[in-house]
Structure 1
Amino acid sequence: MASDLDTLRAELEDRRDRARETIAGLAKTPERGTAQGFGKRIGDGTVEAISRLTEIGVGTSLEAGLERTERALVKLDEGTYGVCDVCGEPIAERRLAAMPDVVTCVDCASGQPRVRPPSRRQ
């Protein structure tokens, strides 16, 4: 069991580090002269602007995942990993296997608002 927890910890730490690195990359200010805004016609910077909006949505999702991963690591330290943060009941093994950073059971997670990327108009 201890080696399973060590493997889990390593996986969560790797996930945390990759998320931090990706978020840091998204947060970098564009080089001077490379930022483009919306132009007067479709195509004048529109692709770059839409790309940036997508990156913002991805960043928001990554930040939420990073928070869950960091919380799961704290729970490992506390000895409460696998116990729901909301109701205190055990989290299903299959749920933990599928999402090692999960900190709530299915019932409690279904009652929480989900982080959604910005919607696009069609």
Structure 2
Amino acid sequence: MEDVAARLHAKKAELDAQMALMETRPGEQGSISFGKRVGEGTSMAVDRLSQVAVHDQLQVTLADVTRALEKLDEGSYGRCDVCGEPIGQDRLEALPWAVLCVTDAAR
């Protein structure tokens, strides 16, 4: 379990760093227009929407990592939060922060 805890703490640090980087304010944008044609402003808006989606996914993963660490402390790591059944070893190997079995994660 120490190996799992180390992997979870490393993933949490990685996610925290990525989110901190994404949360920094963009630099000076100057005068950017958002006209009918695809220009710099439109490209920046699309990029920003993509960044928001990535940030949202990072938050979900961070919540799972935090919950997995809590489950380690509680002694319930490896059990599904919904049905209580064991989470498959292959799933935990691939995603040590998995808190749902494959069946409940698919819902």
Query: Which of 62, 77, 86 is the aligned partner of 1:81?
Result: 77
**Secondary structure of 2:40's aligned partner:** coil
Contact 1:83 1:103 in 2 (8 A): yes
Aligned to 1:8: 4
Cα separation, partners in 2 of 1:15 and 1:37, compared to 1, 3 Å: farther
Q: Does 1:105 find its partner at 2:101? A: yes
Q: Does 1:39 find its partner at 2:38? A: no
User: Structure 1: which 4+ aligned runs deviate by more than 4 Å?
Assistant: 35-38
Distance in 2, Cα, partners of 1:57 & 1:26: 11
Q: Does 1:66 find its partner at 2:62? A: yes
- TM-score, with structure 2 as normaliser: 0.90
User: What percent identity do the matched residue pairs reach?
Assistant: 38
Residue ranges of structure 2 left out of the alignment (5+ in a row) = none
Instruction: Provide the aligned length of Structure 1 versus Structure 2.
Output: 106
Distance in 1, Cα, partners of 2:25 & 2:106: 36
- Structure in which a larger fraction of residues adopt helix: 2
- Cα RMSD, aligned residues only: 1.6
- TM-score, with structure 1 as normaliser: 0.79
- Paired AA for residue 94 in structure 1: D
Q: Does 1:52 find its partner at 2:52? A: no
